[in-house]
Amino acid sequence: MKIGIVCYPTFGGSGVVATELGIALAKEGHKVHFISYSQPVRLDFFSENIFYHEVIVSSYPLFDYQPYEILLASKLVDVVKHEKLDLLHVHYAIPHASAAYLAKQILKSHGISIPFITTLHGTDITLVGKDASFEPVISFSINESDAVTAVSQSLKDDTYKFFDIKKEIHVIPNFISISDFEQLKNKEEYNGICQKKMYSPSGEKILMHISNFRKVKRLDDVIGIFENVRKQIPSKLLLIGDGPERNRIEQLCREKNIYHDVKFLGKITTPEMLLRVADLFLLPSETESFGLAALEAMAMNVPVISTNTGGLPEVNINGVSGFTSNVGDVEDMSQNALKILSDPLILQKFRRQAFEVAQQFDLPKILPLYEDLYKEVIEKNKVSIKV
């Protein structure tokens, strides 16, 4: 198959999943064309089956805001026509689904029929999508998609709740490659730059959080949990990522006099390598459509303390791969963290169980779900052309 993948090129979960999906499809022999305004961060290599098409966003004095949606639609028309694509797969509804619909209609006027699949990742529905000004376009674009997928049952339910959706939504969860994570655990080149003693010289437990440092991630709760654990168990906290909350959280750590035990490591292209040194992963988010960061931690044998919101309970199984608590219940999350960290045997048990749960989301189990859906949509499109 010749597949066009539209995604955001940033560190966000939707872009990461879209890129890893495209790479996996290329390894299976499919021709994959990435279409975005910048090269995806995870697309750090190319093969004979991977192609990248950049959407050029020029500056015009007429526009206060550049019309990216129109530029993207035009690029989709160009790539479909000249690369003879079978299918477009757009990740994140805004504005990719509406751009795909526009491109589809333009191509139809040229005698070309191209189906498109929309994958919903979370904030396009649960945060941005709740803005009433977006609702008509999002509902229309989803309903006009040839197929729709969501990364969790929770996100599927929210989509039906917030929008007037008539289309069937298929739940296809996010995924990781277990074999890649197994290699990371033992990769020799990381031994010199990622050793536990670098961050816990006296054998302190290492708690970790990875995110884009937005308010929805509830960094204050991360600090609160760490404070409570630190009072009873010598610990260090590694914060990976960057965003609007970072400066405030740095100041908070100084005010609480715990700054010397908290390391702000900034954005790291491969944060998975640092998970090698973690004992516990903290994700007390207000909402998560799936919780890819938690899954990546579990794949590295790191148990998770998280909230029970959105798709997180579908990933972090309470009492098995870690514990889940109500949003904002720092005391409960702290007690759960102490349950795991206080006893070496319990920690090892949760490490093993976290990895076992992560194996359920291994790429070889998820990839066929997408391939089957692609084939179904392409075949329906061929039938409609004949009719």
Which is it for strands 205-211 and 280-283: parallel, antiparallel or unpaired? parallel
Does domain 2-175+363-386 fall under CATH 3.40.605.10? My reply is: no
3 state DSSP class of 47? coil
pLDDT in tens, 276-302: 899 999 999 998 999 999 999 999 999
Higher pLDDT, 144 or 162: 144
- The arithmetic mean of pLDDT across residues 347-353, rounded, is 97
pLDDT in tens, 152-204: 999 999 999 888 899 999 999 999 999 988 887 776 555 555 678 888 888 99
- The arithmetic mean of pLDDT across residues 49-75, rounded, is 82
Rounded to an integer, what distance in angstroms lies between the CA atom of residue 213 and that of residue 190? Answer: 26
> What pLDDT, on a 0 to 100 scale, did the predictor assign at position 152?
94
Statement: residue 41 has pLDDT above 80: no
- The arithmetic mean of pLDDT across residues 89-94, rounded, is 89
- The arithmetic mean of pLDDT across residues 139-154, rounded, is 94
- Cα angle value 60/66/67 (rounded, 5°): 120
- The arithmetic mean of pLDDT across residues 363-372, rounded, is 96
Of 3-7, 127-131, 276-280, 303-307, least confident by mean pLDDT is 127-131
> What pLDDT, on a 0 to 100 scale, did the predictor assign at position 135?
81
Statement: residue 44 has pLDDT above 90: no
Local confidence band at 121 (pLDDT 50, 70, 90 cut-offs): confident
Statement: residue 375 has pLDDT above 90: yes
Statement: residue 206 has pLDDT above 90: yes
- The arithmetic mean of pLDDT across residues 68-84, rounded, is 93
> What pLDDT, on a 0 to 100 scale, did the predictor assign at position 190?
54
Do domains 2-175+363-386 and 178-361 share one topology? The answer is: yes
The mean predicted confidence, pLDDT, of the chain is 90
Burial of 339 (0-12, 13-18, 19+ CB in 10 A): middle
> What pLDDT, on a 0 to 100 scale, did the predictor assign at position 207?
97
> What pLDDT, on a 0 to 100 scale, did the predictor assign at position 193?
57
> What pLDDT, on a 0 to 100 scale, did the predictor assign at position 61?
66
Query: Would you state the structure tokens that stand for residue 345, as one six-digit string?
Result: 């045997």
Statement: residue 138 has pLDDT above 60: yes
> What pLDDT, on a 0 to 100 scale, did the predictor assign at position 24?
93
> What pLDDT, on a 0 to 100 scale, did the predictor assign at position 326?
98
Rounded to an integer, what distance in angstroms lies between the CA atom of residue 148 and that of residue 138? Answer: 12
Higher pLDDT, 198 or 367: 367
Higher pLDDT, 366 or 133: 366
> What pLDDT, on a 0 to 100 scale, did the predictor assign at position 112?
93
Rounded to an integer, what distance in angstroms lies between the CA atom of residue 151 and that of residue 74? Answer: 28
Q: pTM of the entire structure?
A: 0.89
Statement: residue 342 has pLDDT above 90: yes
Local confidence band at 46 (pLDDT 50, 70, 90 cut-offs): confident
> What pLDDT, on a 0 to 100 scale, did the predictor assign at position 128?
54
pLDDT in tens, 292-338: 999 999 999 999 999 999 999 999 999 999 999 999 999 999 999 99
By C-alpha distance, which of 353, 359, 309 is closest to 333? 309
> What pLDDT, on a 0 to 100 scale, did the predictor assign at position 115?
96
pLDDT in tens, 236-272: 999 999 999 999 999 999 999 999 999 999 888 777 8
> What pLDDT, on a 0 to 100 scale, did the predictor assign at position 387?
63
Q: If you search the block for the tokens 């009492």, which residue do you land on?
A: 319
Statement: residue 58 has pLDDT above 60: yes
- The CATH homologous superfamily to which domain 178-361 belongs is Glycogen Phosphorylase B; (3.40.50.2000)
Of 66-75, 78-87, 151-160, least confident by mean pLDDT is 66-75
**Where in the chain are the domains?**
2-175+363-386, 178-361
Query: Residue 172 in contact with residue 121, Cβ under 8 Å?
Result: no
Query: Residue 268 in contact with residue 240, Cβ under 8 Å?
Result: yes
Residues 6+ apart with CB under 8 A from 277: 194, 195, 196, 198, 199, 200, 206, 238
**DSSP code string of 237-276:** EEEEE--TTHHHHHHHHHHTT-GGGEEEEE--S-GGGGGG
Rounded to an integer, what distance in angstroms lies between the CA atom of residue 101 and that of residue 80? Answer: 13
